[in-house]
């Protein structure tokens, strides 16, 4: 029986695991424990089993039809044909199996791209490590939105609630309490002094000591898995399946009519059955589902190369059709490399030099360097700012890095420039008492400290308007003065001005108090009578890549909406700088909350910048966009963003920043957090959408042309123009590879110049019309050749060989018609897709072998085509090609 940590006292657990809650484990301890316990990794989920994939292939309607055809062939005595069909079944199953297996492997391997991290303390230093490296005894920190990396006993909690649905099925979050004690047996859900691997922190914070890792954890014991990517059939695959089935149904109907007709017309049963078999085979779109999966899987891989990790094949398919992108500002549009630049206090601006998180820089007043201690209130402002943070500044390989929020990193760095750090203040006797963590709903954070001289201080920072509301006095030149309406107005004006420079602004305030040692006490104390200290203005420059990306979205007719929690002026300044808007109009979260459904739709349609937006507003925005039939990608990083991410067509989360909860709710993760990556993914999505449309066009027009071909033969009362074996040959040897090669087609010209439409369906009316017309043209050439040859008294065998050769080549070359959606197929990109040339090359060699090679002649009932007949055959191939090309060129012209 495993140890019941929840019943034990936390001190005794720490002791028994040789750990220390402040220092954590040391390096040698970690190494020893690693040796004993191994890595913190759950067993890989076995994908769908090999047998299952194999069985899937055989369950296919396509295969069933082929089996029936084979049985019929044996019954009417065409043994060779029967075997050939069986061979096709085996071939189809093997190809289907291999490609599906590989595609699934590729999708599964993407899981490892995003490694899970854990925040720990080791050797007395807080650091971020890979979650697989955790060992029992490690001290971990848990923050809102984290996925818990191992089973652990809590040693400190601050309003921590955890969602344990993945383990207990209970969707309500559970409140956790480090101090809870149990002496009787409790169920998992009741053990509120423990946290478990795979569950997620919904709110608050905690510190815990790891008690079990890997298979020893509760989730490991039940063998459940933590999935990084979602699986399942995409709508495209389902739609294709449906389409394939309807094609087959139509053919079955045609066969039925034909058989009845044949019997009435007195045609021999043998002929009728043979035609039926031929038609059934012609209709079967071999390779269709396989190609769909392969194309999507290739897309997924390509996207991850561009830093977009798609968690679901569906997203690959949808990305190309995105019509609007709703993006956060901080970290997505901007660098998230924050530096405190200006402090407004004592009615003037102090500037701070230096870049990034390197704690080197000076304080300047009117361009002159000053000592921070000289300026009244400056040290207090800097101390308040840096103590009121959860982030840490660490040095790794010589560079400073922030563990936690970048905004807070800026305050920690500024403090260090003046010679303060959390550690140095702690050493001087500053002792933390309580904390209200930051939350983007209420937009502030507060802490309380016991000072060495015996006093207690409350420090608060947050959005300036929120902070001003809480203050009734202000610190001016070292004296506490009343915060008059005129002063408030002055500060607001300054705030606006700094915002217009694109700076991110925090108000800082403080208060002296007593017994500030609980969050409840802080909650009452912050309600009023705080003393306003300063405005701290932080620079967070826009990312280099964003301007170009915005230009591209504009060209592509995609609307970009910036939806930020930051204040209006800052939002507008940044949005203008990157080109999202050129107007001053900014809609506030409040306006969104108050608008009626109709007003909201108008507001969203006519504006691009939204400020002070809460996660709830995000949901309203998504709803409104959905009503407008927009296809929307929306970014989010917090726990509360999860519902909006789920509701958006493409929920986008951040790989570097942001919470695991948001990641789990999203369809795509930006590995570099960059807005430009969304645009690249949309571009890639458009290529994939095109390529899917291209191979569907190719396969369907080819199959339909064969059905039309045989049908024409019957209408003209001709001997069967193609034998079942020949059709099988075209379907399997000639068609599949070129279709597959289309998955590697490079992007069309000006792909982002194409207007985004809300068309979700690849197989729309225009597309169906094009397929039908082109099928007819494809069938017409070889049919004319066949008619001419029969008329010219060539033997039936030769005539049929001509017809077979012409149809086969025309279908092979039809891949050139398919490779460009409109315009000329033979352009300068023609040489870029090697696979296409390989497929065509193989096709030509095989087809020539089918006509001229003895053994194949026997199987396919062909005879060598004499030289003098090559010209008419070529004409039957080239003329229809020419016609389709002409139509495509005109279609391309229309669009321009
Ligand atoms: P975006 O939604 O584009 O990411 P954001 O990061 O500015 O924008 P929030 O994180 O919701 O949005 O922040 C809203 C406001 O809260 C900010 O404008 C700032 O004034 C304040 N704020 C941000 N971070 C903190 C923090 N760590 N402590 C206190 N206040 C903060």
Tens digit of each residue's pLDDT (9 = 90 or more) over 85-113: 888 788 777 877 777 777 777 766 666 66
State residue 46's pLDDT score: 54
Q: Is the CB of 462 under 6 A from ligand 1?
A: yes
Distance set, CA 703 to CA 175, 239, 728 (Å): 61, 17, 11
Pocket-testing residue among 407, 442, 610, ligand 1, by greatest number of atoms within 8 A of Cβ: 407
Q: Which ligand 1 atom is nearest residue 328's CA?
A: 3
Q: Is the CB of 729 under 6 A from ligand 1?
A: no
State residue 235's pLDDT score: 61
Q: How far is the CA of 440 from the centre of ligand 1 (A)?
A: 6
| Structure tokens belonging to residue 236 | 């495209």
pLDDT confidence tier of residue 53, bands split at 50, 70 and 90? low
Q: How far is the CA of 564 from the centre of ligand 1 (A)?
A: 9
Q: Is the CB of 438 under 6 A from ligand 1?
A: yes
Q: Is the CB of 507 under 6 A from ligand 1?
A: no
Q: Which ligand 1 atom is nearest residue 612's CA?
A: 14
Q: Is the CB of 386 under 6 A from ligand 1?
A: no
Strand partners, 482: 473
Query: What number is the average pLDDT over the span 505-521?
Result: 92
Q: Is the pTM of this model over 0.75?
A: yes
| Structure tokens belonging to residue 112 | 């490892």
State residue 206's pLDDT score: 92
pLDDT confidence tier of residue 868, bands split at 50, 70 and 90? confident
Pocket-testing residue among 462, 465, 569, ligand 1, by greatest number of atoms within 8 A of Cβ: 462
Q: How far is the CA of 258 from the centre of ligand 1 (A)?
A: 71
Pocket-testing residue among 506, 574, 589, 621, ligand 1, by greatest number of atoms within 8 A of Cβ: 506
User: What's the mean per-residue pLDDT of the chain?
Assistant: 86
As annotated, the active-site residues are: 328
| Structure tokens belonging to residue 478 | 């070292």
- Shortest-distance Cα residue to atom 20 of ligand 1: 463
Asked: is 339-539 a CATH 3.60.9.10 domain? The reply is no
The string of pLDDT tens digits covering residues 697-745 is 898 899 889 888 888 888 788 888 888 888 888 887 888 889 888 888 8
Q: Is the CB of 405 under 6 A from ligand 1?
A: yes
Show the 3-state SS of 714-773.
HHCCCCCCCCHHHHHHHHHHHHHHHHHHHHHCCCCCCHHHCCCCCCCCCCCHHHHHHHHH
Pocket-testing residue among 388, 390, 443, 590, ligand 1, by greatest number of atoms within 8 A of Cβ: 443
Q: How far is the CA of 565 from the centre of ligand 1 (A)?
A: 6
State residue 225's pLDDT score: 46
State residue 760's pLDDT score: 57
- Among 136-140, 347-351, 401-405, 421-425, whose mean pLDDT is lowest? 401-405
Q: Is the CB of 440 under 6 A from ligand 1?
A: yes
- Shortest-distance Cα residue to atom 6 of ligand 1: 330
Integer Cα distance of 891 and 879 in angstroms: 18
More confident: 775 or 289: 775
Q: Is the CB of 122 under 6 A from ligand 1?
A: no
In contact, 756 and 557? CB cutoff 8 Å: yes
Task: Look at residue 210 and tell me whether its pLDDT is greater than 60.
Answer: yes
Integer Cα distance of 412 and 407 in angstroms: 9
Q: Is the CB of 328 under 6 A from ligand 1?
A: yes
Phi then psi for residue 421, to 5 deg, are -145, 165
Q: Is the CB of 542 under 6 A from ligand 1?
A: no
The string of pLDDT tens digits covering residues 589-629 is 999 999 998 999 999 999 999 999 988 899 899 999 988 88
- Shortest-distance Cα residue to atom 18 of ligand 1: 566
- Shortest-distance Cα residue to atom 13 of ligand 1: 565
Pocket-testing residue among 330, 546, 566, 638, ligand 1, by greatest number of atoms within 8 A of Cβ: 566
Q: How far is the CA of 293 from the centre of ligand 1 (A)?
A: 41
Q: Which ligand 1 atom is nearest residue 570's CA?
A: 18
Q: Which ligand 1 atom is nearest residue 562's CA?
A: 3
- Among 43-47, 77-81, 321-325, 868-872, whose mean pLDDT is lowest? 43-47
Q: Is the CB of 456 under 6 A from ligand 1?
A: no
Q: Is the CB of 731 under 6 A from ligand 1?
A: no
In contact, 337 and 402? CB cutoff 8 Å: no
Q: Is the CB of 565 under 6 A from ligand 1?
A: yes
Query: What number is the average pLDDT over the span 777-797?
Result: 91
Closest to 413 (Cα-Cα) out of 424, 404, 423, 421: 421
Q: Which CATH architecture has domain 5-44+111-228?
A: Distorted Sandwich (2.70)
Pocket-testing residue among 330, 405, 507, 675, ligand 1, by greatest number of atoms within 8 A of Cβ: 330
Q: How far is the CA of 407 from the centre of ligand 1 (A)?
A: 8
Task: Look at residue 229 and tell me whether its pLDDT is greater than 50.
Answer: no
Q: How far is the CA of 586 from the centre of ligand 1 (A)?
A: 17
Q: Which ligand 1 atom is nearest residue 389's CA?
A: 27
Integer Cα distance of 650 and 633 in angstroms: 4
Q: How far is the CA of 444 from the centre of ligand 1 (A)?
A: 8
Q: How far is the CA of 471 from the centre of ligand 1 (A)?
A: 20
Report percent pLDDT > 70 for the chain.
Answer: 93
Q: Is the CB of 330 under 6 A from ligand 1?
A: yes
Question: What is the dihedral sign for C-alpha 662, 667, 669, 670?
Answer: negative
Q: Is the CB of 93 under 6 A from ligand 1?
A: no
Q: Which ligand 1 atom is nearest residue 388's CA?
A: 28
Q: Is the CB of 675 under 6 A from ligand 1?
A: no
Q: Which CATH architecture has domain 306-334+544-677?
A: 3-Layer(aba) Sandwich (3.40)
The string of pLDDT tens digits covering residues 388-404 is 998 989 888 888 989 88
Phi then psi for residue 664, to 5 deg, are -65, -30
Q: Which ligand 1 atom is nearest residue 390's CA?
A: 27
Task: Look at residue 517 and tell me whether its pLDDT is greater than 70.
Answer: yes
861: how many CB neighbours lie within 10 A of its CB? 16
Q: Which ligand 1 atom is nearest residue 565's CA?
A: 12
Q: How far is the CA of 567 from the centre of ligand 1 (A)?
A: 9
- Shortest-distance Cα residue to atom 24 of ligand 1: 407
Q: How far is the CA of 166 from the centre of ligand 1 (A)?
A: 30
State residue 230's pLDDT score: 45
Pocket-testing residue among 384, 466, 504, 565, ligand 1, by greatest number of atoms within 8 A of Cβ: 565
State residue 45's pLDDT score: 55
Query: What number is the average pLDDT over the span 499-518?
Result: 93
Q: Is the CB of 444 under 6 A from ligand 1?
A: yes
Q: How far is the CA of 543 from the centre of ligand 1 (A)?
A: 18
- Shortest-distance Cα residue to atom 10 of ligand 1: 440
- Shortest-distance Cα residue to atom 30 of ligand 1: 462
State residue 221's pLDDT score: 77
State residue 114's pLDDT score: 66
Task: Look at residue 302 and tell me whether its pLDDT is greater than 70.
Answer: yes
Q: Which ligand 1 atom is nearest residue 637's CA?
A: 4
Phi then psi for residue 672, to 5 deg, are -110, 10
Show the 3-state SS of 406-473.
HHHHHHHHHHHHCCCCHHHHHHHCCEEEEEECCCCCCCEEEEEEECCCCCEEEEEEECHHHHHHHEEE
Task: Look at residue 319 and tell me whether its pLDDT is greater than 80.
Answer: yes
Q: Is the CB of 408 under 6 A from ligand 1?
A: yes
Q: Which ligand 1 atom is nearest residue 461's CA?
A: 29
Query: What number is the average pLDDT over the span 679-700?
Result: 89
CA 708 to chain centroid, in Å, comes to 42
Q: Which ligand 1 atom is nearest residue 466's CA?
A: 20
Task: Look at residue 865 and tell me whether its pLDDT is greater than 60.
Answer: yes
Task: Look at residue 71 and tell me whether its pLDDT is greater than 50.
Answer: yes
The string of pLDDT tens digits covering residues 456-487 is 999 999 999 999 999 999 999 999 999 999 99
Task: Domain ranges for the chain, please list them.
Answer: 5-44+111-228, 62-103, 306-334+544-677, 339-539
More confident: 234 or 712: 712
The residues, ordered by sequence, that sit 6+ positions from 543 with a Cβ below 8 Å of its Cβ are 333, 334, 335, 674, 675, 676
State residue 896's pLDDT score: 45
Task: Look at residue 358 and tell me whether its pLDDT is greater than 80.
Answer: yes
User: ∠ at Cα 125 (120, 126), nearest 5°?
Assistant: 40
């Amino acid at each position: 029986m495993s140890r019941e940590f929840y019943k034990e006292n936390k001190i005794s657990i720490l002791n028994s695991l040789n750990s220390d809650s402040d220092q954590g484990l040391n390096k040698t301890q970690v190494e020893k424990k690693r040796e004993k316990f191994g890595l913190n990794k759950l067993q890989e989920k076995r994908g769908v089993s090999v047998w299952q994939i194999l069985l899937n292939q055989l369950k296919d309607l396509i295969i069933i039809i082929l089996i029936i055809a084979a049985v019929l062939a044996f019954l009417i005595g065409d043994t060779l044909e029967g075997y050939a069909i069986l061979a096709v079944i085996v071939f189809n199953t093997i190809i289907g199996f291999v490609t599906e297996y590989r595609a699934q492997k590729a999708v599964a391997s993407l899981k490892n791209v995003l490694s899970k991290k854990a925040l720990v303390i080791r050797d007395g230093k807080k650091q971020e490590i890979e979650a697989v490296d955790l060992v029992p005894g490690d001290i971990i920190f848990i923050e809102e939105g984290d996925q818990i990396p191992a089973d652990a006993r809590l040693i400190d909690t601050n309003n921590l609630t955890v969602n344990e649905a993945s383990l207990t099925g209970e969707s309500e979050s559970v409140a956790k309490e480090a101090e809870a004690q149990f002496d009787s047996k409790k169920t998992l859900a009741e053990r509120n002094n423990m946290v478990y691997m795979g569950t997620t922190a919904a709110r608050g914070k905690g510190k815990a000591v790891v008690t079990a890792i890997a298979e020893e954890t509760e989730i490991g014991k039940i063998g459940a898995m933590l999935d990084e990517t979602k699986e399942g059939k995409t709508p495209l695959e389902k739609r294709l399946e449906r389409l394939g089935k309807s094609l087959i149904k139509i053919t079955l109907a045609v066969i039925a009519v034909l058989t009845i007709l044949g019997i009435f017309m007195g045609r021999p049963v043998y002929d009728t059955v043979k035609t039926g078999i031929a038609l059934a085979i012609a209709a079967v779109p071999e390779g269709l589902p396989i190609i769909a999966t392969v194309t999507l899987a290739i897309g997924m891989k390509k996207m991850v190369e561009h830093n977009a990790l798609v968690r679901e094949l569906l997203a690959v398919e949808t990305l190309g059709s995105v019509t609007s992108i709703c993006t956060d500002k901080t970290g997505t549009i901007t660098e998230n490399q924050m530096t405190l630049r200006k402090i407004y206090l004592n009615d003037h601006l102090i500037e701070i030099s230096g870049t990034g998180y390197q704690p080197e820089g000076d304080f300047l007043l009117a361009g002159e360097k000053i000592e921070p201690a000289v300026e009244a209130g400056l040290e207090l402002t800097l101390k308040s700012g840096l103590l009121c943070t959860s982030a840490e500044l660490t040095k790794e390989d010589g560079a400073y890095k922030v563990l936690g929020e970048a905004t807070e990193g800026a305050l920690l760095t500024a403090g260090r420039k003046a010679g303060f750090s959390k550690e140095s203040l702690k050493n001087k006797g500053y002792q933390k008492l309580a904390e209200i963590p930051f939350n983007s709903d209420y937009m502030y954070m507060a802490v309380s400290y016991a000072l060495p001289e015996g006093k207690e201080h409350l420090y608060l920072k947050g959005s300036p308007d929120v902070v001003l509301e809480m203050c009734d006095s202000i610190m001016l030149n070292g004296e506490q003065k009343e915060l008059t309406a005129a002063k408030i107005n002055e500060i607001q004006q300054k705030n606006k001005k700094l915002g217009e420079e694109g700076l991110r602004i925090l108000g800082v305030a403080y208060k002296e108090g007593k017994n500030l040692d609980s969050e409840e006490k802080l909650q009452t104390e912050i309600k009023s009578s705080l003393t306003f200290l300063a405005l701290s203005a932080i620079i967070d420059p826009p990312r280099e890549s964003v301007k170009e990306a915005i230009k591209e979205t504009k060209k592509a007719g995609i609307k970009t909406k910036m939806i930020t929690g930051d204040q209006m002026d800052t939002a507008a300044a940044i949005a203008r700088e990157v080109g999202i808007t050129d107007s001053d109009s900014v809609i506030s979260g409040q306006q969104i909350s108050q608008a009626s459904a109709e007003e909201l739709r108008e507001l969203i349609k006519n504006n691009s910048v939204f400020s002070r937006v809460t996660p709830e507003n995000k949901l309203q925005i998504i709803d409104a966009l959905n009503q407008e039939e927009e296809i929307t990608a929306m970014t989010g990083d917090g726990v509360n963003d999860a519902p909006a991410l789920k509701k958006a067509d493409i929920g986008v989360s951040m790989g570097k920043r942001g919470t695991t909860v948001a990641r789990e709710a999203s369809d795509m993760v930006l590995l570099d957090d960059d807005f430009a990556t969304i645009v690249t993914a949309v571009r890639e999505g458009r290529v994939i959408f095109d390529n899917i449309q291209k191979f569907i066009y190719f396969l369907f027009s080819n199959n339909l042309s064969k059905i039309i071909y045989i049908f024409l033969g019957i209408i003209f009362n001709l001997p069967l123009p193609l034998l079942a074996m020949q059709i099988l040959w075209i379907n399997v040897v000639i068609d599949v590879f070129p279709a597959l090669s289309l998955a590697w087609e490079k992007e069309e010209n000006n792909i982002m110049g194409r207007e985004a439409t809300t068309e979700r369906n690849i197989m729309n009316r225009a597309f169906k019309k094009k397929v039908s017309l082109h099928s007819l043209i494809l069938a017409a050439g070889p049919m004319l050749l066949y008619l001419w040859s029969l008329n010219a008294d060539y033997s039936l065998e030769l005539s049929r060989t001509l017809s077979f050769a012409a149809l086969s080549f025309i279908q092979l070359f039809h891949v050139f018609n398919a490779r460009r959606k409109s315009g000329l197929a033979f352009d300068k990109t023609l040489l870029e897709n090697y696979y296409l040339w390989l497929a065509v090359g193989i096709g030509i060699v095989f087809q020539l072998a089918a006509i001229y090679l003895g053994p194949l002649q026997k199987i396919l009932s062909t005879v060598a085509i004499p030289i003098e007949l090559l010209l008419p055959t070529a004409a039957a191939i080239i003329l229809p090609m020419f016609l389709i090309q002409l139509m495509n060129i005109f279609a391309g012209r229309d669009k321009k």
